[in-house]
């Protein structure tokens, strides 16, 4: 069955689109001019991949073991209903294959991301991907064969074979998905098509991470710098508006030049997902994406509708930003610059580590001890280097292996938040794999952003509680508003874009680059309101959002923030009892459905309350307070 873990389902990438660490490398090696070489970075700031395999020979050994044992699946075909013992043996074997596969995949994927243009690691990644498709195909009989058994047979087997009790939730979940499970032959055909899903994303990644060449621009000191994904946000935070505009327009040049290619890749990925959703008898793409995790479609649609009907806080924020910056017109490249430059500072990575250890103390001694262990044992790859993948992520859950965090450090406050965010994912994965047996040693994607954003909220609370001046506090409140904009409103905007594009495609209307740009631009204008100017570059900025190549992922940043706000409030107000419930959430894995796990932690995402709570906070006094304080000083 090859149950790939959460991190792998989303290609190992979990990135906050606003405060993600794509803003690297000021303050670190290679901070100006050419990007640093990997050999120039101290080992303590680089991953230790030997925690997965001591060397590549051991990777090859496991790869060959999997390769030589794959056909053993065939010995179970047609026999799963014979005895409870055979069914248990099949599940046990599948777990062994899957766990070894995940280790091999993790090693290949991380190695590739450190050197995206290295042919050796590309080849390793392709080999393990192809092997995964082979496993999926040869094991594709398991689900349909189980579902073909007479009603009540599974329950009978569980009573007969003690070991099957472990798989009861998984078996019940299979029965829930019976309508969307095909015959043995049909499942095999779909499994053989799996590599096609990667073509669109991998081509996009290769272009944007390895082949894409950004122009040189003059920075705020008049020096020529090489733009990159990592340096884009640092540019957007510059106090020099001319530099921001130059960097903004230059950054999107290569995207716009390849608009036809990227749009074709995106439409291709949509066509594949439509093919899969229709093959599995879903009514539409949203249902196909949410049903496997038992998330009601209304959770997605209610988010889009509720936020779309409550955009006044965003519009007021735009008006406030424009007024306090003293601008006639507000552009996208003005949205990241601070209103409080006097308190703007750089952070070293080591300083950020200390801040996170202090900020997350409300989560208890166990959490802090494990967090420190992660920092001290090279779980984090910190600095941007030439040919390293852009962005930030936590690698996901592999039983018996700790997670890995990729950063591209720029020294901004945003990077401190990104570190807290990714360590939230990491401890979530770590606790899951430590506390759950293999079948449930992962967590549903719907829960993926909750732990990360909870960490951010606790970090913000700590920073506000420890400011020395009113100016610093106002700057942090501004950052909080930026976070709501970036994590809640922006991601919901992306979710609306993705939903509408898919709906049109399902009706037979695939957008060309101009249509796609026009629609994306219209949503940008809708969410930011009349004080914002939508530039041509912003219309085409959808092309840099790699999440669109996944399957309805972005909405979970917004729902994750809603759940995290509620959980953090409980932790800070109730202490130990709330922390215990929260740690239970981190350790729950897939032992239950995501909605139920959150309910046990104290949040009901089937109701509009958590989403509306964020909307109300966005429109609350913090925003007016910043404006009032600034006006009182004549700022």
Instruction: Give the residue numbers marked as catalytic.
Output: 422
Under 8 Å CB-to-CB from 567, ≥6 apart: which residues? 450, 454, 578, 582, 585, 601, 602, 603
β 380-381/393-394 pair status: unpaired
Read off the DSSP letter of residue 32.
S
Nearest residue to 235 (alpha-carbon basis) of 22, 466, 377, 498: 22
Under 8 Å CB-to-CB from 408, ≥6 apart: which residues? 21, 22, 23, 24, 25, 229, 230, 383, 384, 388, 390, 391, 392
Nearest residue to 407 (alpha-carbon basis) of 49, 28, 4: 28
**Cis peptide leading into 314, omega within 30 of 0?**
no
Helix (H/G/I), strand (E/B), else coil: 258: coil
Separation between Cα atoms, residue 450 and residue 240, nearest integer Å: 35
Q: Residue 450 in contact with residue 564, Cβ under 8 Å?
A: yes
Between the CA of residue 251 and those of 233, 242, 308, 549, what are the distances in Å? 10, 14, 29, 21
Under 8 Å CB-to-CB from 620, ≥6 apart: which residues? none
Helix (H/G/I), strand (E/B), else coil: 165: helix
- Determine how many CB atoms are found less than 10 A away from the CB of residue 354: 12
**Terminal-to-terminal C-alpha distance of the chain:** 61
Under 8 Å CB-to-CB from 216, ≥6 apart: which residues? 224, 225, 226, 227
- Determine whether 370 is exposed, middle or buried from the number of CB atoms within 10 Å of its CB (0-12, 13-18, 19+): middle
In 280-308, where does DSSP find H-type helix? Answer: 285-290, 297-308
Beta bridge partners of 224: 218
Q: Give the torsion sign (CA, 76, 80, 86, 92).
A: positive
How long a stretch of residues is the chain? 635
Separation between Cα atoms, residue 460 and residue 463, nearest integer Å: 5
Give the CA dihedral 340, 344, 349, 355, nearest 10 degrees: -50
CA 488 to chain centre: 14
- Determine whether 319 is exposed, middle or buried from the number of CB atoms within 10 Å of its CB (0-12, 13-18, 19+): middle
Q: What is the secondary structure of 349-397 as a DSSP string?
A: HHHHHHHHHHHTGGG-HHHHHHHHHHHHTT-EE-S--TTPPPS-EE---
Separation between Cα atoms, residue 133 and residue 140, nearest integer Å: 10
């Amino acid at each position: 069955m090859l149950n790939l873990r959460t991190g792998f389902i989303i290609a190992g990438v979990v990135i906050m689109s606003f405060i993600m660490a794509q803003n690297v490398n000021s303050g670190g090696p290679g901070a100006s001019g050419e990007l640093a070489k990997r050999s120039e970075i101290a080992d303590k700031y680089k991953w230790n991949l030997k925690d997965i395999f001591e060397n590549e020979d051991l990777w090859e050994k496991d790869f060959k073991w999997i390769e030589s044992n794959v056909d053993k699946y065939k010995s179970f075909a047609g026999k799963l209903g014979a005895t409870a013992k055979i069914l248990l043996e099949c599940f046990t074997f599948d777990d062994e294959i899957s766990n070894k596969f995940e280790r091999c995949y993790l090693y290949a994927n991380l190695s590739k991301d450190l050197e995206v243009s290295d042919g050796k690691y590309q080849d390793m990644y392709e080999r393990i991907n192809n092997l995964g498709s082979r496993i999926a195909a040869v094991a594709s009989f398991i689900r349909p064969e189980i579902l073909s058994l007479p009603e009540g047979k599974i329950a009978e087997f569980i009573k007969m074979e003690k070991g099957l009790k472990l798989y009861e939730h998984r078996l019940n979940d299979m029965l829930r998905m019976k309508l969307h499970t095909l015959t043995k032959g049909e499942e095999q055909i779909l499994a053989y098509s799996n590599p096609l899903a990667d073509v669109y994303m991998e081509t996009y990644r290769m272009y944007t991470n390895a082949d894409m060449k950004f122009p040189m621009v003059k920075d705020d000191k008049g020096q020529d710098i090489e733009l990159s994904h990592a340096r884009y946000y640092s540019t957007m935070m510059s106090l020099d508006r001319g530099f921001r505009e130059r960097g903004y327009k230059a950054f999107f040049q290569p995207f716009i030049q390849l608009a036809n290619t990227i749009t074709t890749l995106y439409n291709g990925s949509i066509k594949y997902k439509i093919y899969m959703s229709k093959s599995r008898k879903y009514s539409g793409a949203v249902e196909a994406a949410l049903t496997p995790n038992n998330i009601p479609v209304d959770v997605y649609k209610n988010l889009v509708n509720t936020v779309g009907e409550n955009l006044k806080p965003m519009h007021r924020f735009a008006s406030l930003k424009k007024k306090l910056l003293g601008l006639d017109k507000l552009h996208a490249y003005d949205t990241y610059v601070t209103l409080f430059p006097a308190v703007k500072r750089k952070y070293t990575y080591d300083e950020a580590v200390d801040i996170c250890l202090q900020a997350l103390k409300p989560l208890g001694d166990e959490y802090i001890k494990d967090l420190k262990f992660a920092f001290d044992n090279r779980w984090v790859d910190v600095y941007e280097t030439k040919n390293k993948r852009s962005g930030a992520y936590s690698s996901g859950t592999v039983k018996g292996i700790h997670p890995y965090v990729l950063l591209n450090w720029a020294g901004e406050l945003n990077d401190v938040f990104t570190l807290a965010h990714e360590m939230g994912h990491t401890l979530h994965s770590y606790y899951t794999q430590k506390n759950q047996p293999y079948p449930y040693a992962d967590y549903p994607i719907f829960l993926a952003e909750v732990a990360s954003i909870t960490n951010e909220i606790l970090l913000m609370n700590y920073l506000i509680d420890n400011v020395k001046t009113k100016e610093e506090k106002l700057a942090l409140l501004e950052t909080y508003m930026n976070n709501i904009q970036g994590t809640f409103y922006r991601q919901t905007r992306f979710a609306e874009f993705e939903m509408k594009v898919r709906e049109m495609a399902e009706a037979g209307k695939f957008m060309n680059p101009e249509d796609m740009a026009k629609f994306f631009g219209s949503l940008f204008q809708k969410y930011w309101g009349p004080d914002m100017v939508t530039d041509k570059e912003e219309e085409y900025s959808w092309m840099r959002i790699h999440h669109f190549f996944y399957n309805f992922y972005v909405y979970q940043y917004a729902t994750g923030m809603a759940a995290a706000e509620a959980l953090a409030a409980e932790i800070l107000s109730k202490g130990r009892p709330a922390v215990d419930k929260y740690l239970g959430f981190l350790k729950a894995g897939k032992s239950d459905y995501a909605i139920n796990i959150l309910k046990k932690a104290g949040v009901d995402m089937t109701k509009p309350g958590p989403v509306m709570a964020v909307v109300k906070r966005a429109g609350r006094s913090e925003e007016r307070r910043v404006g009032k304080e600034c006006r009182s000083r004549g700022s």
